[in-house]
Amino acid sequence: MNHPRIAVFALLAVAAAWGSTFFLTKDLLTRMDVADYLALRFAIAAVALIAVYPAAMSRLSRLDRGRGVALGVTYGIAQLVQTEGLRHTSASVSGFVTGMYVVFTPLLAAVILRHKIGRWAWIAVVLATVGLGVLSLQGFSLGPGELLTLASAGLYALHIIGLGAWSTPSNAFGLSALQMVVITAVCAVGAIPGGFDLPSGAGDWTRVIYMALVAGALALIVQTWAQAHLTPTRAAIAMTMEPVFASTFAVLFGTDSVTVRMLIGGALVLSAMYLVELAPRRKFEVEVQHLAQ
């Protein structure tokens, strides 16, 4: 089986799940505190994963447990920092700056893991970054909100690198469950100062449960498995499809309309996806030709 190719499609499904939450979350947060929402969402996801496979975390090695805690803390802090940054900047700028993990990931992977990043991968990173800018930006100034969001992008990049280095097909479920528990704890700490409020109606509960189970628990399992078969840079570029899916869902189910910026930005991100898929194939073909000579 071509696991890397399947893993890319799996990450595209994850990006689609994440993208589907934007217009739902935007409405929900008009009635619910951000930290309360995050803590509840990840708590439901953690309970679901533990209920499906209660022994998953206990089967992890001591080393994997430590890694799972580190990944969960990193992701949880990234969520809180990104959310705090969103209070001080626009949603469009926040989306662009958060997407800068596509730049941080290869840079940090080169430093931490000594990965050699190829020419095609760098071209794909540039294309994805420009595409995110066209999709998101309508003005930009560097202030506290942007700096906090940039910090969250760095943390997301570290999470992507950690998953790529530490996840395996066999520990994916247990690692996902442990991360969910730790993320819940981190977000709950963020919710303590203002008290904790639950959703007020059946519609809000439905949205929270969908985002917890589909865009939370299931998405993290799939991401953890997929990154066991991909380099961090390739995974990060695949996940930059999230804002493209977000725009698509906003047009289909929200109030947004198709714009030229949306089409151009989406085309650039799709081009980056094509390049990141083309590069491994070209490398394989060159190796085969070399062996045949």
More confident residue, 112 or 91: 112
CA atoms within 13 A on the CB side of 56: 24
Segment 88-104 mean pLDDT: 73
pLDDT of residue 91: 63
Most confident among 16-20, 69-73, 202-206 (mean pLDDT):
69-73
Burial 93-131 (b: 16+ CB within 10 A, else e): bbbbbbbbbbbbbbebbeeeeebebbebbeebbebbbbb
Structure tokens belonging to residue 91: 């949603």
pLDDT tens profile 186-221: 999 988 887 888 888 899 999 999 999 999 999 999
User: Cα separation of 134 and 262, whole Å?
Assistant: 7
Question: Is residue 255's pLDDT more than 50?
Answer: yes
pLDDT tens profile 36-57: 989 999 999 999 999 999 999 9
Residue carrying structure tokens 């994805």 = 128
Question: What domain range is 228 assigned to?
Answer: 3-292
Question: Is residue 77's pLDDT more than 60?
Answer: yes
pLDDT tens profile 123-180: 888 888 887 777 666 665 667 877 888 899 899 999 999 998 999 989 999 999 999 9
Least confident of 238-242, 267-271, 274-278: 274-278
Least confident of 75-84, 128-137, 219-228, 234-243: 128-137
DSSP-derived 3-state class of residue 13: helix
The amino acid that residue 254 corresponds to is G
Q: Number of structural domains, the chain?
A: 1
User: Cα separation of 77 and 158, whole Å?
Assistant: 12
Helix segments in 32-171, DSSP class H: 34-52, 62-86, 91-98, 101-112, 119-136, 144-166
Question: Is residue 2's pLDDT more than 70?
Answer: no
